[in-house]
Amino acid sequence: MSELNELIVELRKLASTESWESILCKIEDSPELVSIQLDLFKAHALLKLDRVDESRNILESVLDLNPFNEWAINLYYESLEKLLGQLQAVSFLRNHIIKHDIASEPLLVKCADTLRLHSKYTDAIEINKRRAPITRPPKKIAIAIQTFNKADTLKALLDSLLKCEYHHFFSIVILQDSWKGSKREDVFERGYNDVKALIQEYLPALTERFGVFEYITNDKNLGTAPSCVKLLDLVCEKYTSFVFFEDDCILFKDTLRWSKFAIENLIDQNGAHFATCESVFFDFGKKQKPTEVDIAQLIEVGSFLNGNYCNLNFVPSTNFISTRKIWKQYHNLRNLPRGPESLNGYFKEYNGKCIFPIIPRTIDIGMEHELGYSTTNLGKGNVKEIKNTFVNSSLYATTDEFKEYGGDTDLLYSASSNIHVPHITKLLDVLQGKTN
């Protein structure tokens, strides 16, 4: 367990016994450790010791960065109640709920009931309409992450995930496969332990950012396809929709924004059954790398297509998005030996649809990893597909508008993935309106 985790565990014990002075001393003795959770423990202790102004200053800083943090909201409410009275405190709470669209049932109940006590009936009714029993809002979307023994790629995924917008609409579930019974136990055990330690290290930050974090491990090695199915079956017991990532994906700040849009607007039992954050465009694979001039032109191409998507009839194995109802239709198919290939064989035969963004919202960096599935089973020199994406959504301003691409996808693929230079120029001319 990391030093930060150990300190947080100790602070929780001290808080349970109301040892507020001891909490302050423990935090002051570890000035090198920085965490919003430590700030909140400190603010809580200061509040209980009637050092209200100091507490409120800390809480204002926390809420500027994390306006959805329920602990911080409650503490700030309590500080205002002590300084200015309950009416001022509930006025803050009402305004904060509306400004940030807070969906916490306890906070909504607290706010509506306190407004009622102060005869603010119109405001109380307005807040009460936001409650789950009244509005029945959709449940949070699960981010389902499958991992095993690649600590370096998982770290890159988690670092990118912590930078994503729209995090408050999502919860995280991670499943780690076991090294026991695997083909190379001596090598995989070390990687497994490194991943487990990394997850423990990131636990405070992920919990702080997403609110709900679950970590599951297999008792024995199941392999890629069965672990994926186990993870998504567990996720679908609690969540109505999910976005699945293997542990060698890199996300961008709008990845979750795109995922939420796809779930709410594009995935349908009678239409597209899956979406993905990956793209088949702007990826040169094992082909010759484009020149800097080509890349500059393709970045300009991407500026016209950042909010576009298209339908294709296959589902990437490393990342896909769907719903509980749809997953039930594919559970057994994805659990077959060579599950991803089985799913895509079915998709091609029955013309299944998966929604792809034109500009990638995630990229796969693990194709040649020494501990990865492809290298382990094929040998590094025999890996057929290497994804080298050189244009992604982080290069452009975040968009709130997504629309289906109506252009020539063959021309787009030829220009962006086959790097056919005349087609890059032609595509750019079309997008700029210079030609049809």
Residues 339, 407, single domain; the answer is yes
Residues 311, 411, single domain; the answer is yes
Percent of all residues in the chain with a pLDDT value above 70, rounded to a whole number = 91
Residue 44 inside a domain? The answer is yes
The strand pair at 354-357 and 308-312 is best described as antiparallel
Residue 189 inside a domain? The answer is yes
Among 135, 153, 180, identify where a domain stops: 135
Calpha distance 190→303 (Å, rounded): 43
Burial classification of residue 241, based on how many CB atoms lie within 10 Å of its CB (0-12 exposed, 13-18 middle, 19 or more buried): buried
Residues 171 and 210: beta-carbon distance below 8 Å: yes
Residues 372, 296, single domain; the answer is yes
How far from 157 is each of 174, 259, 385, 391, CA to CA, in Å? 12, 16, 20, 18
pTM reported for the whole predicted model: 0.68
Residues 186, 98, single domain; the answer is no
Tally of domains within the chain: 2
Among 109, 135, 161, identify where a domain stops: 135
Residue 412 inside a domain? The answer is yes
Residues 290, 258, single domain; the answer is yes
Among 107, 135, 163, identify where a domain stops: 135
Reading the block at residue 257, the tokens are 């924004």
Residue 107 maps to which CATH number? 1.25.40.10
Residues 314, 419, single domain; the answer is yes
φ, ψ for residue 171, nearest 5 deg = -125, 160
Residues 101, 250, single domain; the answer is no
Residues 105, 226, single domain; the answer is no
Residue 253 maps to which CATH number? 3.90.550.10
Helix, strand, coil % in the chain, rounded to nearest 5: 55, 10, 35
- Rounded (10°) angle between helices 70-84 and 36-48: 30
345-357 confidence digits (pLDDT tens): 888 888 889 999 9
Q: What is the DSSP string of 321-372?
A: EEEHHHHHHHHHHHTSTTHHHHHHHHHHHTT--EEEESS-SEEE--TT-TTS
Average pLDDT value over all residues in the chain: 87
Structural domain including 300 reads 141-431
Residue 374's nearest CA partner among 364, 363, 385 is 385
Residue 436 inside a domain? The answer is no
Calpha distance 93→89 (Å, rounded): 6
In tens digits, the chain (436 residues) has pLDDT values of: 468 778 888 898 898 899 999 999 999 998 888 888 889 999 999 999 999 999 999 999 999 888 888 899 999 999 999 999 999 999 999 999 999 888 788 899 999 999 999 999 999 999 998 886 665 545 689 999 999 988 999 999 999 999 999 998 999 999 999 989 887 787 788 889 999 999 999 988 898 888 888 999 999 999 888 999 999 999 999 999 999 999 989 999 999 999 999 999 999 877 899 999 999 998 876 666 788 898 899 999 999 999 999 999 989 988 999 999 999 988 888 878 777 888 888 888 888 899 999 999 998 875 554 544 554 554 455 445 666 788 889 888 888 789 999 999 999 999 888 888 899 999 988 888 876 5
Residues 278 and 359: beta-carbon distance below 8 Å: no
Residues 169, 98, single domain; the answer is no
Residues 236 and 242: beta-carbon distance below 8 Å: yes
124-159 confidence digits (pLDDT tens): 999 998 886 665 545 689 999 999 988 999 999 999
Residues 192, 250, single domain; the answer is yes
How far from 155 is each of 175, 314, 422, CA to CA, in Å? 15, 28, 39
Reading the block at residue 398, the tokens are 């975040």
In this prediction, residue 260 carries a pLDDT of: 93
Calpha distance 76→97 (Å, rounded): 13
415-431 confidence digits (pLDDT tens): 888 888 899 999 988 88
Residues 408, 358, single domain; the answer is yes
Residues 227, 105, single domain; the answer is no
